[in-house]
Structure 1
C-alpha cells in the first residue's frame, strides 16, 4: 500500500503557491528564459497526467512508460493553458488530477504493482536526468520529493516569496532510485 498523504500535501502547497502568486498584487515576471506561473502550472498538469497514465496502465496490467518530454514542449504547454482557460482552470485541473493520482494510494495498488518497473525518461533544462526503468512507487516519490516542491518554489520565487532565482530545483522531475 502507498500512503498518498505526502502527495496530497505537496499538491496542496503548489496550489497555495499559485494562489499566492495570483494574490501578490503585481504581475509576476519570470527571469529571461524562465516560465511564467501559467506555464509552470501547465507543465505540472502534463507531468501529473503522465503519472496518472503510468499508474493506470500498471493497474490495468498494461505496458506502462513515463516520459516527461511532452511536458517540456512550449507549444504543448501553451495549448494546455488555452484548453484549461487560464490560471483558474489550470488550478482546478491540477486539483482534480491530484485527487485522481492520490486515488492510486491505499489498497488501490498492491505492493507488487507499486514495484512494477516503468521505463522512464526524464529531462530537465535539456539535460537527460534519467533513462531507465524505475518502480512505479518511485515515480510517486519523485513527485513528492522533487518535482512538485521544486515547482512550488519556482512559483513563489515569481512573487519574491521563494529563493529569488525563479528556477525550480535543478533536479526537477528526478525520481529517487
Structure 2
C-alpha cells in the first residue's frame, strides 16, 4: 500500500497537536486529550486488523470501543500528560503506516466486515477492503480530528 496520503494527514494532525492553546470544546464535545486517545485507539485497532489479515485471520473492525468514554479515560490515565500522549499517538501512527506499507495487493483487497459509528450516527455497516479502511483514515478520519483540534485552539479555555 502507498501510505503517502496517510503520513501527510498525520503530519498535519501532529502540527495541530503542537498548538499550546488547545482548549475545551464549546459544545461539550471531546477535549484534546480525548481526541488524541480516540485516534490512538482507532490506529491500534486498525493495525491489529491489518496484522490479523496478514496472519490469515479474517477479523472485523468495530470502532465502538474507540468511542467509549471509559476507554478514552483509561488511555489518557496511562500517560503522564499530553506530551506523552501525543508521543504515543505519533508512535502508534508510525506503526500503522509501517504495517500498511508492507501490505501486498492480496492482503489489501481482503474484505473486512466494518461497523463504524460517529457519536450516535451509523456511518458504515458492511465489508470493505482493508485498503479502504486504512485509506479512510487519510481521507476522512485524521483530517476530521485535525479540524476538531484546530477548533479547540480557537475556543476560550474553561
Name the TM tier (shorter chain). Answer: over 0.9
Q: Which residue of 2 aligns with 1:135?
A: 129
C-alpha distance in structure 2 between counterparts of 1:112 and 1:67, whole Å? 22
After superposition, give the CA deviation of every residue in 1:1-42 in whole Å (9 maximum; x if it has no partner). Answer: x1111111111111111111xx23xx6121233100000000
| 1:92-171 correspondence runs (5 A) | 92-106=87-101, 108-160=102-154
Contiguous gaps of at least 5 residues in structure 1 = 165-177
TM-score by length of 2: 0.93
Larger RCO (CA under 8 A, 6+ residues apart): 2
Superposition deviation, residue 150 in structure 1: 0.2
Q: Which residue of 2 aligns with 1:53?
A: 48
C-alpha distance in structure 1 between counterparts of 2:100 and 2:70, whole Å? 32
Q: Which residue of 1 aligns with 2:29?
A: 34
C-alpha distance in structure 1 between counterparts of 2:27 and 2:2, whole Å? 39
Contiguous gaps of at least 5 residues in structure 2 = none
C-alpha distance in structure 2 between counterparts of 1:84 and 1:136, whole Å? 30
4+ aligned runs moved over 6 Å, structure 1 = none
TM-score by length of 1: 0.83
Equivalent position to 2:61, from 57, 66, 86 = 66
Q: Which residue of 2 aligns with 1:170?
A: none
C-alpha distance in structure 1 between counterparts of 2:8 and 2:143, whole Å? 10
Cα-Cα RMSD: 1.3
C-alpha distance in structure 2 between counterparts of 1:29 and 1:36, whole Å? 5
- Report which of the two has the higher share of helix: 2
Q: What is the number of equivalent residue pairs in this alignment?
A: 155
Superposition deviation, residue 117 in structure 1: 0.4
